[in-house]
Structure formats: C-alpha cells, structure tokens
Amino acid sequence: MGLNNLFQGSSTPSDLGGGSLRLDPDYEKAFIDRWGTVIPPVPHNAASLRRQNNAALGALMRQLPVHDGDSITQTEIPYASADGTSITLHRFKPLHNPAYLHGGGFVSGSVKLFSPDIIRYAVSTGLTFYAPAYRLAPENPFPKPLQDAYSALEWLQRHAEQEGVDPARIAVMGNSAGATLAAGTVLMARDRGLTPAVGKLLLIYPALDYHGRNGQAEESNSSLTKHLTWTEKKNQIAWRAYLDGYTGAVDGYDSATEVSQYAVPARETDVSGLPRTYVDIGGLDLFRDEVLAFGARLAAANVELELHLYPGVPHGWEWMAPDVPVTKAAIENRCRALRGF
C-alpha cells in the first residue's frame, strides 16, 4: 500500500516492456522483484497525493542501503523566513556545506522522510548538509516554500563562520520539486546579487515547467507514458497546489502568463550567470524534455554544465532500485559533483 502512489496503471511485467522506449534491464528486474504486484490508486487532489506520496516515500527510503547514521550529527536550527515564519533548518554534519531540498511534488515529503537519502550523501561525500523544512502547498503555496528555501541560504551565509563553512563554497541541491525550489533559489540569488554567489547547483530530475513534457499532452498509448511513475495527473495536482492563489495560475493553469520564473524556472529567458550546474534525468521521466531543453540553454549561455540522461529509468528510480548499476552510477556521479566543487 505504501508504494501505490509511485506507479501508474498496472505494474505487472507484461506492462513494463515494448514500444520504442524500454526499461533498463537491471532496473526492470529489481522493480518487478520488489514492486511488481503493487496496484496504484489515482490521486484526485493535493490531500490524496500527499497521503500517497508520504506513505510511498517512507517505504522507499527504508529500501536504501544502510549507512552509518551514527557518524552524522543531526541538529535542528530555527530561522526566520521572509514573512517572519519560523522554519527549521536540519543540519547533517560530518564536515562542510551543501543545502538539500527534498522532493515530494510541493505537497508532501519532509526532511525526516528524506533523512536516509541525506545521510547517504553526507556519509559518501563527507560534507555537511543543511535541509530546510520548507512549508508545503496547498496550505502554503508559492512564494512561501521558495522564501523558506532562500531564507535558509541567507541564514547559512550569515552564519558561515559560526558553522565552519566557506560561504563561497555553498552548493544548492534538490530533487524533483526540491530541485524546482533549488533552481528558483539560485535564480533569485543571482538576481539579488547575493554575495558570495552560490558555488554550485545540483538539479536531480527537476520539475521546471508546469506543462510537463514541454507542454505536450500526455498520450495514453505513448511509449513514454506506460513507464511513467510521476504522471501528468500527479504533475497537474502538484503544480496547481503550488501555484494556487498566484496570478493566472489556478483555473487558467495551461494559459498562465504571469507566473514568476522563480516559481517556474523554465520561464527564465536569461540563464547566464548561474553557477556551475549538475543535472540528471531518467529517459523515462515526464520531465525529460523540459530538462534537456533547459540544459541546452545553460550550455548555450556558457554555464559550466554536467548533464546526465540515464536511459530506461523513470522519475525517482534510484529509490525503487537502489542496488542496480544505473543507480550506483548516478549516486557516484552526484557525490563526485559535490566533492569536486
């Protein structure tokens, strides 16, 4: 039951192959062995999506390889967001300084749920991770989650000496909706002239455009659609919740014309001046096309870019199959990118 939100349609082996796109064979075997009998419900609103996501994330995180969490000191630090709301910044400390923004489709997830993932990166890299417990939609739509993330970055810069952090070597990292916030945070830092500038940006299968697939409608018979774990339905629920109350972005979801580029990073027309950027995405991810398009724009703007497209895997694949070669390669690439900036 806990994993039902992750899978679309039937998850039986007969539904997993065929078409011009196919699953990575190692991932497919691991997926079938672990989750092949899961039958998913379809979320109808933000509340049902939250329940399903949180249950699934808890189950998936328990599948991750066990790391020595005892070697990581976890501390909760209060800080004020832009509107004065007190937010908790979670510090996972062996040594150093990235900020981690968890996923969950804007409406779900938490630092506690994602702590096994954060500990994995902290142990593997020897870096200290700061993870803000940003507020969730729909109760707290844009700009509040982004304000929470940006205020955490400002707090870390102000307290860099106290924290033993080099303020010029702060990376901002996020996955899925957390990567949306990471991209928005770094765009805002650039435009506001935050000094020192963010040292590196890591975007793990980011949601960059509320249209999904660069505005293309999801086709029920397409080769990609049958493999999606994060579907267009879930994507619409998530974006509607996040953009609720923002001009032009509720009922006029598909024709919103006044949404900030900080909320929807794909809308930013000038990506020059962004820090060195690492991006990865699965070849069977709803966000594939928009991520590749964004990467091309970064490269054209001469932003130092490392981009990985992993064939045969969908959104969030590394939690569903943590031990397969494609997952190990992705985790190592992310850790190398963190260690090397």
What tens digit of pLDDT does each residue of 301-334 get? 999 999 999 999 999 999 999 999 999 999 999 9
Per-residue model confidence (pLDDT) at position 10: 34
Average pLDDT over residues 27-38: 84
**Residue 193 lies in domain:** 4-339
Cβ atoms < 10 Å from Cβ of 215: 12
Question: Does the pLDDT value for residue 8 go beyond 90?
Answer: no
The pLDDT score that the predictor gives to residue 248 is 47
For residue 22, give the CATH number of its domain.
3.40.50.1820
pLDDT at 290 over 70: yes
Token representation of residue 284: 């069977």
Residue for token digits 């963190």?
Answer: 338
Nearest C-alpha neighbor of 286 from the set 338, 210, 341:
210
**Would the pLDDT of 5 be above 70?**
no
How many domains does the chain fold into? 1
pLDDT for 327: 96
User: Which range is least confidently modeled, 2-11, 82-91, 141-150?
Assistant: 2-11
pTM given for the model: 0.86
**pLDDT of residue 16 exceeding 90:** no
